[in-house]
Chains A and B, each alone.
Chain A
Amino acid sequence: QVTLKESGPALVKPTQTLTLTCTFSGFSLSTSGERVSWIRQPPGKALEWLARIDWDDDKFYSTSLKTRLTISKDTSRNQVVLTMTNLDPVDTATYYCARSELGASWFDPWGQGTPVNVSS
């Protein structure tokens, strides 16, 4: 059974850096074809894809946010980390991580999400 769980601070001040961790089980990011993405959802708004990391350490970022995002993986700990710099109140959202695979562009399953509030 594949599961993912996000963790990180619930409150961050503007201009600070956010670090989120996705801890997963039931698959390995050292296995060919495996991928993990981060997706966020501001309150009452739509889903927005942020970044993806692949089994071979290829990384892809949202065009609008790429200067602020860094995604990395720790295969031994089954974790994917997303950092976002220079936080702004508009970054307030629930942040999800989700699994996908090479040749399968859908996300299944998703983590439960972790809410992040950017406020002074």
Chain B
Amino acid sequence: SYVVAQPPSVSVAPGQTARITCGGNNIGGKSVHWYQQKPGQAPVLVVFDDSDRPSGIPERFSGSKSDNTATLTISRVEAGDVADYYCQVWDSSSDHVVFGGGTKLTVL
């Protein structure tokens, strides 16, 4: 089955840029979606189809992809961005959904 890998944690100072990666074989051929999950809350979609933002999501959140890695970039990080971030892809060969292991964002 398809697997995507994320770093367990990323730390960044307030005002700096956080980059969270999601790696998978031939991920360039799949659409990647990103979710933010704050403590005790349900996940919220922040980026879909690699780089599109749902309405209401700040422009500070952006997505990109190259080769075998997708990246969620959070610019001008704020204390309120502290959360777990998950990438998700759809494996068309099995019509199954795959989530990454999640990345905990810490604001120093």
Taking beta carbons and an 8 Å cutoff, which residues of A are in contact with B? 37, 39, 46-49, 52, 60, 62-63, 96, 104-113
Kindly identify which residue among B42, B48, B102 contacts A112, using a CB–CB cutoff of 8 Å.
Answer: B42
Quick one: closest A residue to B52, CB to CB?
A106
Q: For the complex, is B10 an interface residue (Cβ under 8 Å from A)?
A: no
Q: Is the interface of B mostly helix, strand, loop or mixed?
A: strand
Interface-central residue, B43, B49, B88, B97, by most chain A CB under 10 Å: B97
The reply to whether the CB of B96 lies closer than 8 angstroms to some CB of chain A is yes
Whether A110 lies near B96 (C-beta < 8 A) is no
B44 within 8 A of A: yes
Which residues of the partner chain B approach A47 to less than 8 Å between Cβ atoms? Answer: 35, 43, 86, 88, 99, 102
Residue among A47, A63, A106, A111 facing the most chain B CB atoms (10 A cut-off): A106
Given A46-B86, A46-B102, A47-B102, A105 contacting B97 (CB threshold 8 A): yes
CB distance from A93 to the nearest CB of B (A): 13
State whether A63 touches B1 (Cβ < 8 A). yes
Residues of A within 8 A of B98 (CB): 49
B90 interface residue per 8 A CB criterion: yes
Task: Note all chain A residues with C-beta closer than 8 A to B96.
Answer: 49, 60, 62-63
B45 beta carbon closer than 8 Å to chain A: yes
- Interface contact B100-A107, CB-CB below 8 Å: no
Report yes or no: B88 in contact with A106, Cβ–Cβ below 8 A: yes
The contact string, 1 if C-beta is below 8 Å from chain A, for chain B 31-71, is 10101000000111100110000100000000000000000
Q: Are B42 and A113 in contact (CB under 8 A)?
A: yes
Nearest CB on A from B19, distance (A): 20
Kindly state the separation between the CA atoms of A37 and B43 in the bound complex, as whole angstroms: 14
The 8 closest A-B CB pairs, nearest first, are A105-B90, A49-B97, A106-B33, A108-B45, A47-B99, A106-B48, A110-B42, A46-B101
A20 vs B42: C-alpha distance when bound (angstroms): 17
Whether the pair A110, B44 counts as a contact (CB closer than 8 A) is: yes
Instruction: State in angstroms the CA–CA spacing of A46 and B44 once bound together.
Output: 14
Can you sample 5 A-B contacts with CB below 8 Å? A46-B101, A48-B99, A60-B95, A106-B45, A106-B48
| Complex CA–CA separation, A107 to B33 (angstroms) | 9
